[in-house]
Structures are given as structure tokens and as C-alpha cells.
Amino acid sequence: MSEEPVLIAHHLRRELAGDPPPVLVADADLAIMPGKFTAIVGPSGCGKSSLLYLLGLIDRPTGGQLLLDGHDLLTLSGDERAQIRLEHFGFVFQFHFLLPEFSALENVMLPLRRLGRLSPRAMKDRAMALLGEVGLAEKAGKLPERLSGGERQRVAIARALANNPRLVLGDEPTGNLDSVNSARVVDMFRDLAHNQGRAVVCVTHDPAIAEKADIRVTMLDGRVTEVRDQTGATQSATSAT
């Protein structure tokens, strides 16, 4: 496979204010491949979530480079970053984060409406189709409080996919789910990568998920210590200075 990486992090660094500044992410180098399910693992506080938020343009790095299709993302304004999140990124968090006043269908339609590229009719059809894919077509009109934890997370996944993002980022997406729902979500993520060609990046401390990933990125103390391609041999072992 000679596919180009969709997202490249080069010496990505995130420090907090302080003296000496606490380092959340230290000079991370990473290439996110389309069609692959990448898992970022490591002990609590190793900076894996921080790295994910940097990759997802939610947080701003204090140093390094981040390239989407070869374009530098760090010089962009806040509004431009928001637009890229809207078009290219889909997020799934540990907590479902559905808007409580909106039905499942309306929640899925939020990114569609914000992007505004489809007719209202087409938006609704797409949202219904996505809910169908996660097996919740018949619960489209329900408010989040009337859904179970697993169902909510599946609505959140459908919402993350609304604008057909090229990258799907998960922050402990199974952290609040039982093993059955957890396995189901992981299968979905693998499907998104392998059959839909998206780049899927998932932060997790669940070894079962890490096992199923194509690429496993291990972090310790803010550093990427290992990038292992689990479909074949170890790709590289980075240990930046």
C-alpha cells in the first residue's frame, strides 16, 4: 500500500504556561493513514488525549507542524480551523455529548445544517440513513434522555459521520460502554477504516481495542515511544530527543 498519509504531525509540541512549562505533548511525529484504524495507547496522563485534540484542531500546539494533505494547518485562523473540523473531521468522545434538547435525528443533522450544502430534504435523508447504519432508524425522533448509553454513543457516531469526514477521531469512545456495546463500536470503527477508507484515530486504554487496531501508537510522558503496524511488522520506533 503506497497511499499518502492524510494527516502528518511533525515535532508537534504542546506546553502549558509555567516555569518550567509542563509539557503535554513532546515533539510527536505521526502519520495518519487513510483506510487504517490507528489506536493511541498509554498510561493515564501520558498525553494521548492531548495529542488527539492537537490532531483534531481542537487545541493549538505550541510548536511543530501539522499538515492536512500537505497544507499547513497551524497558520489558519480560528474560523478556518472550525470550517476544516466541520468538513473533514468527525469526533466521538467518551461521553456522548448529544445536545439534550434535540432529538437523535436533529443531533445528527446539526453538522449537516451548519455546513449547509444539501437541501433540507437531502439532509434529513442522509441523517436517517446514518441512523439506519448504526441501527437506530426507529429511534430517530427520541430525545437523548430516552436512549440507552450504547444508543447515545451510536447516535454520536452517526453525527460524527454526518459530513462524510475523512478523519474520525475517538477519545475513549468505548470508555462508558459495556463490553457488548464496546465491541460493536470497535467493529464500526474498523468498518469505517477498512470499508469506507477513512482514517480512524482512537485514544484508548482498553487493550482489547488496541489489539484490533491496524496501527498502535504508544505514548509515555508526552512522547510517542512506539508506532507498531499490527497488520505486519513494526514500522518504526520513534524516540525523539
Partner 1 sequence: MIDRLSLLVHIAARHLLVRRRQTLVATSGVAVGVGFFLAVSALMVGSQNDFVRQLIDVAPHITISDELRSPPPQPGVQAMPDGAVELHGYKIRNEVRGLKDWQRILASVSAIPGAVGSPSLSGAVTLRMGGRDEPLGIVGIEPGIEAKVSNVADKLRYGRLEDLERVQGGLIIGEDMARRLGRSKGDIVAATSANGSTRSLRIVALVKKGNSQLGGSTGYMLLREAQSLLGRPFIINRIGIKLSDAYAAQDVAKGLEATYGYKAESWQERSADFLALLLTRNVIMYTVVSAILLVASFGIYTAVSNSVADKRRDIAILRSMGFSQGDLQLIFVMEGLALACIGILLGWCLGWGLMQVLGSLEFSVGGDPQHIPLDQSPRQYLVAAAASLAAGVVAAWLPARKASRVDPVDILRGAV
Binding site for partner 1 (CB under 8 A): 49, 53, 56, 58-59, 78-79, 82-87, 89, 91, 93-95, 97, 99-102, 110-111, 113-116, 159, 163, 171
The strand pairing partners of 7, in sequence order, are 32, 68
CB of 177 to partner 1, least distance (A): 15
Measured from the CB atom, is 59 or 229 closer to partner 1? 59
Q: CB count, 10 Å around CB of 101?
A: 9
Measured from the CB atom, is 160 or 227 closer to partner 1? 160
Backbone angles phi and psi of 184, in degrees to 5: -65, -40
Measured from the CB atom, is 26 or 227 closer to partner 1? 26
Is residue 12 within 8 A of residue 47, CB to CB? The reply is no
Is residue 202 within 8 A of residue 41, CB to CB? The reply is no
Measured from the CB atom, is 37 or 89 closer to partner 1? 89
CB of 167 to partner 1, least distance (A): 12
- Under 8 Å CB-to-CB from 224, ≥6 apart: which residues? 28, 29, 30, 51, 217, 218, 238, 240
In order, the DSSP letters of 217-234 are EEEETTEEEEEEETTSSE
CB of 179 to partner 1, least distance (A): 22
CB of 71 to partner 1, least distance (A): 17
